[in-house]
A and B are shown apart, each in its own frame.
Chain A
Amino acid sequence: MLVYLVSTAYGLFALDENSRVLIEMWTYPDIEKSIQELSQLNQGETTDMLGEMVNRVRALNPEAVVVEQPEMARALTNTGLETRLETVSLPIKWFRTALVDQLVNAKTAGPECDTKRFLKQVAVGLAQQTITRASEERDILTKQAIDAIDELDKAINIIAMRTREWFSMYQPALDRLVEDNEVFSRLVTNVRTSENVDLDALREMGLTAELADAVVSSSVSGTGGTLSEQDLEAIRTLAETVENMYRSRRRLEEYIQTMMKSIAPNITALVGPVVGARLISLAGSLKDLAARPSSTVQVLGAERALFRSLKTGTDPPKHGVIFQVADINAAPYWQRGRIARALAGKLSIAARIDAFSKRDMGEELRLSFQRRVEEIRRQNPEAPPPRPTKRGEPRRTYRRGRGFGKPSGRGGRRH
């Protein structure tokens, strides 16, 4: 005979093919116990209760045990019972939808709302557990950090522009001379009046000698207006904000670096912590990234271009955020697509190792990617001829063949 095993919030039941209960093991009315049983079973683990159930089922000497859940089937693998998985098994379904509630109500002889409340509390407990576990996921924390960095960058840009414009009322030359926002802000916070600008102080702020000279001479002969200490104080407030934001940004980057090294060492070895974190953020989580095909990884972050190409038939994007990796953005444009494809392939492998096995293959992946980049450089030293621009003509495709170009000394990365 066949025995059907059902797990419900109320407990475990073994049935015959007419849904008659052969063995009942209750968790009801113990909410905590029910939550624990279900969460363990949902992860495919064996529980004491299931173990005991198996022993009692064995005594019935069944031909096979039928279950609905793959997780339950997994938990029964080493019990010596033959297990069959039926995603929807009629005797079990009949029991679930019609009989179990009657059974529980008969057991309590209480009002129905009692069992309803029990079921709900178990569901709430399980949901809370899942949500709590999810908010402790370290890759999601990293996602928050990288998103914060991107938002900081936007904010820094806006406020630094304002600082520049405002300070130009006082010393217009500085805006042109100092390109770096952080250095500019540092200058603004430290300049008291034009008299105190001296070379050494500027050198300490990280300016080159040349630049420092230029700043000094411009501060002497400016077309700017004279501003009072009070006016300058107001501008300084803003400049300090920019400096602070840069500091925060650096701290967040350090945080991302340590996090990425621990959660995704292989991705980090390939593309560095920041691009890696961006990829995880775009995919949603490390597991989501691992589940994507590498062609998707290649264009993550270029969704607009991708959908435009799907809709209107323009060329698809060659790269998404992985463009930020030097191997791609420093390469000549006609090699970028191939390099991006190669990198995306290695990234997919890395993401899968990081998500599921934790081995450290970063170095190997990096080396084999580098070898492939060398090969691409060797095979495509020259820019291809421009494509025919007439519409409707077939696109030229470049066959990937073995080129016989000698590896030349040129074509390396420029630093």
Chain B
Amino acid sequence: MRVTNHRFPGVYVTEEEDRKYLATKSLTQDIQSFYGERVVKVDQDVYRQWSPRRSKLSAAIQNGLRELPIQPGSRVLYLGAASGTTVSHVSDVVGETGLVAAVEFSAKTARGLLRLAGLRSNVVPIVEDARHPSRYTSLLTGTVDVVYQDVAQPDQARILSDNLRTFCSFGSWGMIAIKARSIDSASDASQVIDREITNLDLLGLEVVEEVNLEPFEKDHMMVTVRVR
């Protein structure tokens, strides 16, 4: 078992028998896994494998994402946190000096998120509707560097831009996992995604890069944007 640094700070690659896996260094140094991921201990550090099948952000990195705005020290607003699978890795990456404010609307799935918040000091759980950022402005003071959006909804792009407008200023980043099927289930996926990217542009966001998430997710595109 070898661990090397990935070119993104805070992301690692573990190698065993010529197979490589993405991983993050566990913030809690706990050898317990959080959602069933593999945990490996190398020297004094604990690494958690980050499967591209379980997490769209990992899939994007695997598929050659050029820039990752989420870095050690980043303050991230994470929309659509679900039970906290990807959030746990984002929390590893940003570390003690960073912050992840994780928004999830469904109370049922947010239970896992609450458990994660109990384990990690840098995760702030918010059980609210990401469509209405004003409902959680009181819980998120200070700057936000990145808004990560994985809410599969027809008005995905608008939800991202509303949150960027509420919490961020010029130069902040947004990442959005566009799911063609939840925007329009009938027409051609690549057209739907193109239309949504045009939408982002119309909403005043600069589209920086696009990464297709095949074969890990069907008809998904991870798009990175910046506030102009």
Genuine A/B complex = yes
What is A's interface to B at a CB cutoff of 8 Å?
Answer: 7-10, 38, 41-42, 68-71, 87-88, 93, 96-98, 100-101, 116-117, 119-120, 122-124, 126-128, 130-131, 133-135, 307, 310-311
User: Which A residues are in CB contact (< 8 Å) with B107?
Assistant: 130-131, 133-135
Smallest CB–CB gap between B192 and chain A, Å? 13
Encoded as 1 (CB less than 8 Å from any A CB) or 0, chain B from 120 to 141 comes to 0100111110000011011111
Bound state CA distance, A101 and B144, in angstroms? 13
Would you list 10 pairs from A and B whose C-beta atoms are within 8 A, ordered by A residue? A38-B138, A71-B135, A97-B169, A100-B142, A116-B121, A123-B124, A126-B126, A131-B107, A131-B111, A131-B114
B134-174 CB contacts (< 8 Å) to partner A: 134-135, 137-144, 165-167, 169
Of listed A9, A119, A122, A310, residue having the most chain B CB within 10 A: A119
Whether B124 pairs with A120 at a CB distance below 8 angstroms is yes
Known A134-B107, A307-B185, A310-B186: A8·B169 in contact at CB below 8 Å? no
Please tell me if B110 contacts chain A, counting CB pairs below 8 Å: yes
Contacts of B101 in A (CB 8 A): 123
Give the residue of A9, A116, A310 whose beta carbon is less than 8 angstroms from that of B185: A310
- A39: min CB distance to chain B, Å: 11
**Across the interface, do A100 and B127 meet the contact criterion of CB distance under 8 Å?**
no
Establish whether residues B141 and A97, one from each chain, have CB atoms under 8 Å apart when the complex forms: yes
Cβ of B41 within 8 Å of any chain A Cβ, yes or no, is no
Q: Classify the interface of chain A: helix, strand, loop or mixed.
A: helix
Q: With contacts A88-B166, A130-B107 known, is A123 near B139, CB below 8 A?
A: yes
In the A-B complex, the 6 residue pairs with the closest CB atoms: A134-B107, A310-B186, A130-B127, A69-B134, A127-B125, A127-B127
* CB <8 Å contact, A311 and B141: no
A127 touches B110 (CB 8 A): yes
Collect the chain B residues with CB atoms within 8 Å of residue A93's CB.
166
Contact of B139 among A68, A88, A119, A134 (CB under 8 A): A119
* Known A119-B124, A120-B117, A134-B108; 14 more pairs at CB < 8 Å: A38-B138, A41-B138, A68-B134, A70-B134, A97-B144, A100-B142, A123-B139, A124-B118, A124-B124, A126-B127, A130-B127, A131-B127, A307-B186, A311-B186
> Which residues of chain A are near B121, meaning CB under 8 Å?
116-117, 120
Residue in B118, B124, B134, B138 whose beta carbon sits within 8 Å of that of A87 in the complex: B134
Q: Which of A9, A100, A124 contacts B125 (CB 8 A)?
A: A124
B135-A128 in contact (CB<8A) = no
Least CB separation from A101: chain B residue? B142
Q: Which residue of A lies closest to B104 (CB)?
A: A127
A96 touching B125, Cβ below 8 Å: no
How far, in angstroms, from A244 to B144 measured CA to CA in the complex? 57
Q: In the assembly, what is the distance between CA of A130 and CA of B127, in Å?
A: 7
Q: How far is the CA of A119 from the CA of B99 in the complex (A)?
A: 12
Q: Is the CB of B126 within 8 A of A9?
A: no
CB distance from B59 to the nearest CB of A (A): 24
The chain B residue with its CB closest to the CB of A309 is: B186
Residue among A38, A42, A131 having the largest count of chain B Cβ atoms under 10 Å:
A131
When A119-B139, A131-B127 are in contact, do A88 and B114 touch as well, CB less than 8 Å? no
**Could you say which residues of chain B place their CB within 8 Å of the CB of A307?**
185-186
- Distance, CA A7 to CA B139, complexed state (A): 9
How far, in angstroms, from A144 to B139 measured CA to CA in the complex? 32
B111 with A9: CB separation less than 8 A: no
Within the assembled complex, what's the spacing in Å between the Cα atoms of A96 and B134? 12
Would you call B137 and A69 a contact (CB within 8 A)?
A: yes
What's the Cα separation between A135 and B139 when bound, in Å?
Answer: 23
Q: For window 76-115 of chain B, which residues contact chain A by CB distance below 8 Å?
A: 99, 101, 107-108, 110-111, 113-114
Give the distance in Å from the alpha carbon of A8 to the alpha carbon of B139 in the complex: 7
Give the distance in Å from the alpha carbon of A133 to the alpha carbon of B108 in the complex.
Answer: 11
Does B114 lie within 8 Å of A97, measured CB to CB?
Answer: no
For B114, B128, B138, the residue with the greatest tally of chain A CB atoms inside 10 Å of its CB is: B138
Q: Contacts of B139 on A, CB cut-off 8 Å?
A: 9, 38, 119, 122-123, 126
Taking CB as reference atom, which chain B residue is nearest A34? B138
Which residues of the other chain, A, contact B126 by a CB distance below 8 angstroms?
123, 126-127
The complex places the Cα of A9 from the Cα of B144 at a distance, in Å, of 17
Q: What distance in Å separates the Cβ of B155 from its nearest Cβ neighbour in chain A?
A: 15
Residues of A within 8 A of B165 (CB): 88
Distance between Cα atoms of A124 and B144 in the complex (Å): 19
Q: List, in ascending order, chain A residues with CB within 8 A of B185's CB.
A: 307, 310-311
- Nearest CB of A to B130, in Å: 14
A92 nearest CB neighbor, chain B only: B137
- Interface contact A101-B110, CB-CB below 8 Å: no
Bound complex: CA of A101 vs CA of B141, how far in Å? 7
Inter-subunit contact A98/B143 (CB<8 Å)? yes
Please report the C-alpha to C-alpha distance between residue A93 and residue B162 in the assembled complex, in whole angstroms: 13
Q: Which of A42, A96, A100 has the most CB of B within 10 A?
A: A96
Among B101, B111, B142, B144, the one with the most A-chain Cβ atoms within 10 Å of its Cβ is B142
How far apart are B65's CB and chain A's nearest CB, in angstroms?
27
Which of A9, A130, A131 is within 8 Å of B138, CB to CB?
A9
| Residues in B whose Cβ lies below 8 Å from that of A69 | 134-135, 137
**Nearest chain B CB to A410's CB is how many angstroms away?**
41
